[in-house]
């Protein structure tokens, strides 16, 4: 994952913050109304960036964790990326760097031919963005990893539901509850 200082907005936001701090040292006696307005514009821009930056960080972290592109990342019935697709693929390219990795691209409602064209576009774009071609794996698997089979998930839920809930005991050990458990299947 990118270092916080490698993000393109961070150094710019830092420089802007330093410039604002320097300009806040005291009232400027010779400032014209247009200079005061320009200072307000700079302050507004800085405020907007500082408010948006945490949300942008969350988006980047989510895209990198999910490592997937879906139908909505492409224009309808097309192998052309949408604006969202371009943004997310750029985030993935920075996250994959030169070491590469896996990206899930489920077929969804696309035909086999369209899906293959989308896979080729994603690969070519990642290579153009600096990811080594041999290090890219694009497959139709689950987003974020291999996931778990539904049957296994139901088995785990049933096991948890049939286990007694531990209750804190007075001696620091857990006593089991006599409350009946319900079946979650």
Look at residues 40, 136, 52, 146 and name the one whose alpha carbon lies nearest to residue 95: 136
Predicted pLDDT of residue 24: 56
Average pLDDT on 146-175 reads 69
Q: Indicate the burial class of 82 (C-beta count within 10 angstroms; 0-12, 13-18, 19 or more).
A: middle
E-state strands within the chain: 101-104, 136-139, 166-168, 174-176
**Domain edges within the chain:** 4-22+37-64, 67-139, 148-185
Instruction: Give CA separation, 38 vs 20, 33, 35, 47, 48, in Å.
Output: 12, 9, 5, 14, 15
CATH 3.30.1330.60 fits 67-139, yes or no: yes
Point out which residues pair with 175 in neighbouring strands.
167
Look at residues 101, 82, 104, 83 and name the one whose alpha carbon lies nearest to residue 93: 101
pLDDT per position as a tens digit, 73-129: 999 999 999 999 999 999 999 998 867 889 999 998 999 999 999 999 999 999 999
Among 13-27, 94-108, 151-165, name the most confident range: 94-108
């Amino acid at each position: 994952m990118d270092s916080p200082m490698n993000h393109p907005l961070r150094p710019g936001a830092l420089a802007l913050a330093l410039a604002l701090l320097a300009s806040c040292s005291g009232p400027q006696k010779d400032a014209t109304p247009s200079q005061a307005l320009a200072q307000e514009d700079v302050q507004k821009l800085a405020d907007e960036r500082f408010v948006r930056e945490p949300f942008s960080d969350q988006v980047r972290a989510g895209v990198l964790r999910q490592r997937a592109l879906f139908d909505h990342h492409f224009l309808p019935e097309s192998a052309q990326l949408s604006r969202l697709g371009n943004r997310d693929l750029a985030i993935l390219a920075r996250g994959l760097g030169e070491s590469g990795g896996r990206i899930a691209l489920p077929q969804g409602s696309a035909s086999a031919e369209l899906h293959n064209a989308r896979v080729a576009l994603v690969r070519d774009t990642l290579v153009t963005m600096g990811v080594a071609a041999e290090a890219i794996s694009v497959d139709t698997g689950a987003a974020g990893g291999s996931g778990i089979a539904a049957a296994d998930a139901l088995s785990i839920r049933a096991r948890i539901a049939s286990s007694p809930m531990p209750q804190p005991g007075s001696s620091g050990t857990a006593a089991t509850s006599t409350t009946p458990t319900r079946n979650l299947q």
